[in-house]
Structure 1
Amino acid sequence: MNIIVAILIFGFIIFIHELGHFYFAKKAGVTIYEFSIGMGPKIFSKEKNNTLYSLRALPIGGYVAMAGEDEESDDENSFDKKPIKDRLASIFAGPVANIVLCFVLLSGFFMIVGTPTTNILEQVAESSPAYEAGLKKGDKIISVDNKSISNFEELSSAISSSNGKELKVKYNRNSSVETTSIKPVKNNEKYIIGITPKNEKNPIKAIPYAFSTTYNTSKSMLQFIWKLVTGQLSGNIVNSLAGPVGVVQIVSNAATSGILNLVYLTAIISLNIGLMNLLPIPALDGWRILILMIEALRRGKKLPAKVEGYINGIGLIALLSFMIFITYKDILRIIG
């Protein structure tokens, strides 16, 4: 049952992505042949207003087939005959829809569970630097290195910017002010001391916190991609990557731990898909955006449709090959 839920969620994220493309292309008057969720053999299809709406067997993607997208077309409403601004909007809309979905889901999530904005500790991990320094649940952090702390963001920032340097932490416990020294440790490229703040249920704070979480998570993802591309990451990175099978397993596991964890994970996966599609890699939306920007700089002089089609085709083959490889690794990991 959990696997079915995971597949449905993955399909929903793809649906939102393709819906973004579809809506803005339709709005621009582009002729659309097919709006498909999934790849491979058709499970269900229905034609309406000269557009085929289909559901396919493999939940590993989806597409909006538009006239003149990858080849020249005589259709006066083909994609390639529309103004650059309309084409850019249609391509941008897919990734942006995923990023917006992440923000919307996180807003609802933080409205229910609250936001970790207070400087009062809810949990102190055993054997962590904070635990060893004597901090306990209920302690209220007053200052770090004589700098006043009024919320968790300020506390987190002080810890992150410490670069592992010992910090002088002043806190309030049972109306008594005490001081201790804590040396942060590095974990996943970030300095931590092993604390969890008390959540504050405030719908007004939930929306801006969802926005900042979306922004900070996007920043972390892009930094990871940059380090991956530039070879700054150590260890076997391939084993830490997950394809569709791996993602379905992760979502399936999250489904067993409650609806809220499922909502949070869905938001993060949607954000990941949105950002990945903005990368300038052939066959991804980012590549099409790059081509359109080059066309704009060349004052409307287009790259030949056949050339662009060949590049996208090669990119698609490379991506599918990589996807098959990662899926193979996922299956081995699950079996193991």
Structure 2
Amino acid sequence: MTFQTILMAILIFGFLIVIHEFGHFIFAKLSGVVVEEFAIGMGPKLFGYQGKETKYSLRLIPMGGYCQMLGEDAEDYQRGSFNSKSKLARILILSAGSLMNLLGCIVLLMIIFFIVGVPSTTLDLVERDYPAYEAGLRQGDTIVAIEGKDVDSWEDVTSQISSAEEKIYSVDVLRDGQLLNFSIASKFDEELNQHRIGITSLREKSIFSSFTNGFKQTFLYGKLILESIGQLFTGEVSTDSLTGPIGIVSVVGQSMEYGIVAVLNLAAVISINLAIFNILPIPALDGSRILFVIIEAIKGSPVSPEKEGKIHFVGFALLMVVAIFVAYNDILRLR
């Protein structure tokens, strides 16, 4: 691992953790909770500033951070304490970190789509020696229907043109205001190991398309992550496939070889992973604390702080065991 790779990994993790903790911070402030300290990093303090109510600090280890609220881990109901607020307010404060990571993923993907553009149904390249060109399609044509079915996006085009088998497609295109129809047979590409007709989309750059596609891609990533978590429990995916910080640093190095877009995309994936993982009802994580607030609402009284603390402690210990196991696998993969 190079110094640049480690530095980039620290910047990515640092940014994502800071926005996570800032989510807790801003929602706590809006709810009237006293934030005693907002720290970036962990370990010994390098720099500190005491504000009117909150101490802001920069700490030695450039990983992690925290938002320490008044009475957060104690049976404290004084004015301004976390426990003095309504159940809804507490749930919002606890979920705010994941909401910020979700928003971070959307924003990062929006930036990516604005840089590279969004695929449209207009053709940028029609490859010679491929069926689309031979049939008569040309650069600038806009595909409006395939097999009689309207297409509104490039995803519609790729989903309707199967790469698994050879087939003749009826394609309607708009050219200079005129609607034209072409019959195009797919051709097997040995290099890509799939059937193609030989067309490439023209990418369009706009704030609106970047915004909508940022949301769509975030939803897709979230869906894939949840499916993977489900497959871990069913045994369809092995625990050996789990990757921790060490493995991610290695992936950061690989993404840097492909440029800033690949690095931003990796940061977006990590951000949505953090959002989902932290909201799961796993002891010691935000999701578990939200669960305790819901239990309090159902039973009419809070769970004993001692019992909740013990559960979080056991959960944290188990997370550390998992972290060691994942780190061990990461190291083996690096050898």
Classify the TM-score, shorter chain. Answer: 0.7 to 0.9
Change (3 A) 1:288 1:74: closer
- Encode CA deviations 1:88-112: one digit per residue, 9 max, x unaligned: 1111110001111111222222122
C-alpha distance in 2 between matches for 1:309 and 1:103: 34
- Tell me if the contact between 2:102 and 2:272 (Cα under 8 Å) persists in the aligned partners: yes
Gap runs ≥5 in structure 2:
189-193
Superposition map of 1:71-110 within 5 A: 71-73=74-76, 75-110=78-113
Shift of 1:36: 2.5
User: CA separation of 1:72/1:64 partners in 2, compared to 1, >3 Å: closer, same or farther?
Assistant: same
Measure how far apart 1:255 and its partner are: 3.0
Partner of 2:13 in structure 1?
Answer: 10
Gaps of 5+ in 1: 125-130, 184-190
Whole-angstrom CA distance in 1 between matches of 2:195 and 2:60: 44
Q: Deviations over 1:73-125 (max 9, x none)?
A: 3643221121112111111110001111111222222122110232637599x
Aligned-partner Cα distance in 1 for 2:325–2:129: 44
Percent identity reads 39
1:179 aligns with 2:167: no
Separation in 2 of the partners of 1:167 and 1:63?
Answer: 57
Tell me how far apart the structure 2 counterparts of residues 199 and 62 of structure 1 sit (CA, whole Å). Answer: 39
The alpha-carbon distance between structure 1 residues 167 and 57, as it changes in their structure 2 partners (threshold 3 A), is farther
Give distance in 1, aligned partners of 2:195 and 2:314.
43
The TM-score with structure 2 as length reference comes to: 0.80
1:27 aligns with 2:59: no
Provide the secondary structure at the position in 1 that maps to 2:309. Answer: helix
2:222 corresponds to 1:221: no
Hey, what does 1:315 align to over in structure 2? 315
Pairing of 1:149-168 with structure 2 (within 5 A): 149-158=151-160, 168=168
Question: SS at 2:120's partner residue?
Answer: coil
Q: Where does residue 259 of structure 1 map in the other structure? A: 260
Q: 1:13 to 1:272 in 2, by over 3 A?
A: same
Distance (Å, rounded) in 2 between the aligned partners of 1:205 and 1:85 = 34
Q: Distance in 2 between matches of 1:316 and 1:265?
A: 26
Q: Which of 62, 66, 86 in structure 2 is aligned with 1:63?
A: 66
Q: C-alpha deviations, 1:161-186, integer Å up to 9, x for none? A: x7967765334799882322589xxx
Structure 1's 172 and 40: CA in aligned 2 closer, same or farther, altered over 3 A? same
Asked if 1:284 is matched to 2:285, the reply is yes
Contact 2:126 2:132 in 1 (8 A): no
The aligned counterpart of 1:206 is: 210
TM superposition score normalised by structure 1: 0.80
Structure 1 residues 168 and 178, CA gap change in structure 2 (3 angstroms): closer
Distance 1:108 1:163, change over 3 A: closer
What corresponds to 2:296 in structure 1?
295
Q: Amino acid of the residue matched to residue 310 of structure 1?
A: K
Letter in 1 for 2:251: I
For residues 206-258 of structure 1, the C-alpha deviation after alignment (integer angstroms, 9 at most, x for no partner) is 2111111111221111111112222233xx442x3221122233223323432
| Aligned-partner SS, 2:41 | strand
- Which piece of structure 1 moves more, 46-55 or 166-175? 166-175
SS of residue in 1 equivalent to 2:111 = helix
Between Structure 1 and Structure 2, how many residues are aligned?
A: 318
Report how far residue 303 of structure 1 moved: 1.0
- Are 2:235 and 1:231 equivalent residues in the alignment? yes
Distance 1:35 1:141, change over 3 A: same
Quick one: structure 1 residues 52 and 153, their matched pair in 2 at CA, closer, same or farther if it must change by over 3 Å?
same
